[in-house]
Amino acid sequence: MQFSRADFGNEFHWGVSTAAYQVEGAHLADGKGLSIWDNFVQKPGKIYQQQHANTACDFYNRYKEDTLLIKELNIPNHRFSISWSRIIPEGTGRVSRKGIDFYNRLIDYTLACGVEPWITLYHWDLPQALQDEGGWTNRRVVEWFLNYVSICIQNFGDRVKHWIILNEPMVFTGAGYFLGVHAPGKKGLRNFLAAVHHAALCQAEGGRLIRQLLPGATIGTTISCSHIEPYRKIDKDVLAANKVDTLLNRLFIEPLLGMGYPVNDLPVLKRIDNFMKPGDDERLAFDMDFIGIQNYTRELVRHSYLTPFVQAKIIQANKRKVKATVMNWEVFPEAIYEVLKKYSAYPNIPKLIITENGAAFPDEVVDGNIADGERVQYLNDHIKQVLRAKNEGVNVGGYFVWTLLDNFEWAEGYYPTFGLVHVNHNTQERILKDSGLWYQAFLRRGHTLK
């Protein structure tokens, strides 16, 4: 099936996404405070080859060069995040004028290039000073977060129309406060449930504050979504898949929609009551203008009585001998269609926007070029599935590629390369990949594969 950009309509938002800690570098420049990731990367054995993002893609100094690349690629929207500790070094209190000035320069230059900025307020880099006070497990994080949001709106709201509250709260609470594999490296159910509840409160309260301070803003938040299926068609695997779906896909969207936490399908969530206060049920709900859907793959789940709380185990792609990315995520384009259909079925769900989708494949520079045909095929096939959902009536209003540059991919370091643009992290040389050229051509004249 051939398709084109025109098939999505003139109001569809095409873009690319990045995140501050993954690209900016300059981790101590101009008085920036330390974030939990600046601290976490120093811990032995946590990051692939002990890599870090102290320099990353040097976007702090090269934002003009990289924004011109976005313009060259015909990409009309750039989703990027603010580093909380760059503008408020200790998380609360003193505001860094130099940090504010950097984001003003970035926003102004982005707009001057004809690119629309979409700001993500929290993309995982909590100020370390706040983590020292308990971070997301401390209920005061709601107060700290709202102060940070108000400073962002006061300084950038005159030019920025699109605001995203949180990036993938299930990931930063689960990986950071239950499994300990991401910053700040905490473990345990109590840490996890406290962080979940406080993040869910910030998700809604942040939206309310922006609506109050900037009534014309378009406000959303992003949810990490995987299409979940049972490994076998037996009752135990079906039940296990339902529990994993509840945890990964429903935990943050349902309280936001006023449905409360999905405790019936995952009873361990009832323990979140330990962190609830009177009125919290109402405070968890907010009418977003859009929900950001971030999908990369599907997961197959089987029953596992050894796994605490969920009695479920995800069967990895390499164990199933299916085509997979460097991240060992199955290449399954229909997953993005399935999650769009799933979320669109919620009553009163707002517009859906794909705020992240992309793939890491091995890239090789040959004669100054990178022929990343697998990534081209991945993007083509996933965009086609978005169109399929749209044609079936799903209110989907945008698609953002993850990501512009080969950046720091958290615990995996620089090994997985998701970018449309290759970055040599020794020289900071940029090379436009074939996937970038494909996206450029698609956005210009609707170039697709069969």
Distance, CA of 432 to CA of 430 (rounded, Å): 7
DSSP state of 231: S
Residues 6+ apart with CB under 8 A from 15: 75, 76, 77, 78, 79, 116, 118, 398, 399, 400, 401
What is the phi/psi pair of residue 394, to 5°? -70, 135
Compute CA distances 185 → 171, 251, 343, whole Å. 13, 21, 31
Distance, CA of 71 to CA of 60 (rounded, Å): 18
Residues 6+ apart with CB under 8 A from 278: none
Distance, CA of 313 to CA of 335 (rounded, Å): 19
Strand positions, DSSP E, 350-392: 351-356
Instruction: Give first-to-last CA distance, the chain, whole Å.
Output: 6
Contact in structure between 79 and 118 (CB atoms under 8 Å)? yes
The residues annotated as belonging to the active site are 168, 356
CB atoms closer than 10 angstroms to residue 97? 12
Cα dihedral across residues 304, 307, 309, 314: positive or negative = negative
- Three-state secondary structure along 13-52? EEEEECCHHHHCCCCCHHHCCCEHHHHHCCCCCCCHHHCC
Distance, CA of 177 to CA of 183 (rounded, Å): 8
Contact in structure between 417 and 355 (CB atoms under 8 Å)? no
DSSP state of 250: I
Distance, CA of 200 to CA of 256 (rounded, Å): 7
